Amino acid sequence: MRAIDATHDPALTSWVESANRHGSDFPIQNLPFAVFRRAGSGEPLRCGVAIGDEVLDLALLGAAQPLEGLAARALAACTEPALNRLMELGSEAWRALRQGLSEVLRSGSRHAARAAGALAPQAGVEFALPARIGDYTDFYTSIHHATAVGRLFRPDQPLLPNYKWVPIAYHGRASSIGVSGQEVRRPRGQLKPPGAEEPRLAPTGRLDYELEVGVFIGRGNPPGEPVPIGRAEEHVFGLCLLNDWSARDVQAWEYQPLGPFLAKNFATTISPWVVTLEALAPFRSPWSRPSADPQPLPYLDDPALRLLGAIDLELEVALETAAMRARGAPAQRLSRSNFRDCYWSIAQMVAHHSVNGCNLQPGDLLGSGTQSGPGAGEAGSLLELTDGGRKPVELASGETRTFLADGDRVILRGWCERQGLARIGFGEAAGIVLPVA
């Protein structure tokens, strides 16, 4: 688990004034990474770090040579249009770079004048995927979501017997992952409505979102060498927000016996900012399993996991319809949940993924699965919120939704907040639904 050090000091301030504003997602205690360029410029993409309302251009900063040693080598890895080179350097390099950037950006820094020239307003940039994503695996870590969805698809056996023993996952499609702002065309697929004798090819009528956390792998592992649970988080660079768009009617027809396929491979949207595990260290909390449930097999259990394996991360999904947008009305929050309620942890996902010798690589992305909590307002999908479409959600605009309509914009947000600590925000992962092509 990452250690708390001077970079987490809640009293620390920055010479970038917007970073000191109460409620900012990006104070100096955060320093998340992204890939960006000035909007509409056609410039080469490069790596950056969020500080308040600005993004610090790490390529420009590196030219000024403000850092030394391992921190300087890590900064030099940020000159490419992806974070993969930095990711593969490992946790010691990530920590050194974080400490160096904190010193550059804090109030009174002797590097302030040189670094100021490397700032660009976030409002004037465009983002790309933060890494070259070679592989994408989506897990199913929320028992509340698994039970609720299982009840809709398999009323006689909502939770399959393997769920409490093994972290369930499927391999997703890396090529259709997009960054916040992604336009999602309503997909077609095979549908078989209740009572129909044969399926038909048609646009989905039950388009849904899934509120998830994305986990970016940093340093990989060689083929045939599993990552032990006690060292699993050394292989995790950071987290983002993730929306695994889903066509529920396609899913209902195709998912047996091998699981999701066309229902989920058409689009996945992630937030541009990757928040490092170092930034989240003050918000770790104990991970536990109900005593009446099976306890994890030894390769999935560890004292450090029990002590601080969960993360107190608030998650929220909001909806902006076309009608709201036309009237200038704000998006409406649909649900709120917390990542600490997941049944399987980040370390367990990594350890299980590699236990058979699977070689994870820098930039690989793991999805947490839909993060739903135990309460009625904590459902991470419309499928759950509407009880399978039987109970429409009523919006303040006078509209209702059972599933997403064309023109709907879905916005995911996440943040860590606790008395006496700086708020650590994730920004947004937003995507808009376009009509079928």
Check: pTM over 0.95? Answer yes or no. yes
For residues 124 and 34, membership in a common domain is answered with yes
Q: What is the DSSP letter of 418?
A: -
For residues 35 and 158, membership in a common domain is answered with no
For residues 31 and 166, membership in a common domain is answered with no
Provide the pLDDT for residue 2: 81
Among candidate residues 82, 104, 128, the one where a domain is terminated: 128
Among candidate residues 94, 128, 162, the one where a domain is terminated: 128
Cα-trace Rg, the chain: 22
pLDDT band at 40 (very low <50, low <70, confident <90, very high): very high
Among candidate residues 95, 128, 161, the one where a domain is terminated: 128
Provide the pLDDT for residue 3: 87
Provide the pLDDT for residue 338: 98
258-292 pLDDT tens trace: 989 999 999 999 999 999 999 999 999 999 999 99
For residues 120 and 269, membership in a common domain is answered with no
Question: Has residue 153 got a pLDDT over 90?
Answer: no
CATH number at residue 51: 2.30.30.230
Q: How many residues does the chain have?
A: 437
For residues 199 and 248, membership in a common domain is answered with yes
Question: What mean pLDDT is predicted for residues 345-354?
Answer: 98
Mean pLDDT value across the chain: 97
- Assigned domain for 390 exists: yes
For residues 409 and 363, membership in a common domain is answered with yes
Residue type, 406: D
For residues 16 and 93, membership in a common domain is answered with yes
CATH number at residue 405: 3.90.850.10
For residues 148 and 248, membership in a common domain is answered with yes
Q: Which residues are catalytic, by number?
A: 145
For residues 210 and 226, membership in a common domain is answered with yes
The string over 397-430, giving b where at least 16 C-beta atoms fall within 10 Å of a residue's C-beta and e elsewhere, is eebebbbbbebbbbbbbbbbeeeeebbbbbbbbb
For residues 120 and 151, membership in a common domain is answered with no
Residue 134's closest CA among 312, 363, 304?
363
- Assigned domain for 350 exists: yes
Contact by Cβ (8 Å): 46, 81: yes
Provide the pLDDT for residue 430: 98
208-238 pLDDT tens trace: 999 999 999 999 999 999 999 999 999 999 9
Question: What mean pLDDT is predicted for residues 136-164?
Answer: 94
286-335 pLDDT tens trace: 999 999 999 999 999 999 999 999 999 999 999 999 999 999 999 999 99
Question: What mean pLDDT is predicted for residues 100-117?
Answer: 97
Provide the pLDDT for residue 80: 93
- Which residue pairs, CB below 8 angstroms and at least 24 apart, start in 103-111? 104/61, 104/66, 104/67, 105/14, 105/15, 105/16, 105/19, 105/28, 105/31, 105/51, 105/56, 106/12, 106/13, 106/14, 106/15, 106/28, 107/12, 107/13, 107/14, 107/15, 108/15, 109/15, 111/64, 111/66
Domain range for 260 is 136-434
For residues 107 and 200, membership in a common domain is answered with no
Give me the helices (H) in 343-402, please. Answer: 346-354, 382-385
Provide the pLDDT for residue 154: 87
- Assigned domain for 182 exists: yes
* Number of domains, the chain: 2
- Assigned domain for 1 exists: no
For residues 235 and 364, membership in a common domain is answered with yes
pLDDT band at 159 (very low <50, low <70, confident <90, very high): very high
- Assigned domain for 25 exists: yes
The secondary element (H helix, E strand) that includes residue 320 is strand 314-320
- Assigned domain for 74 exists: yes
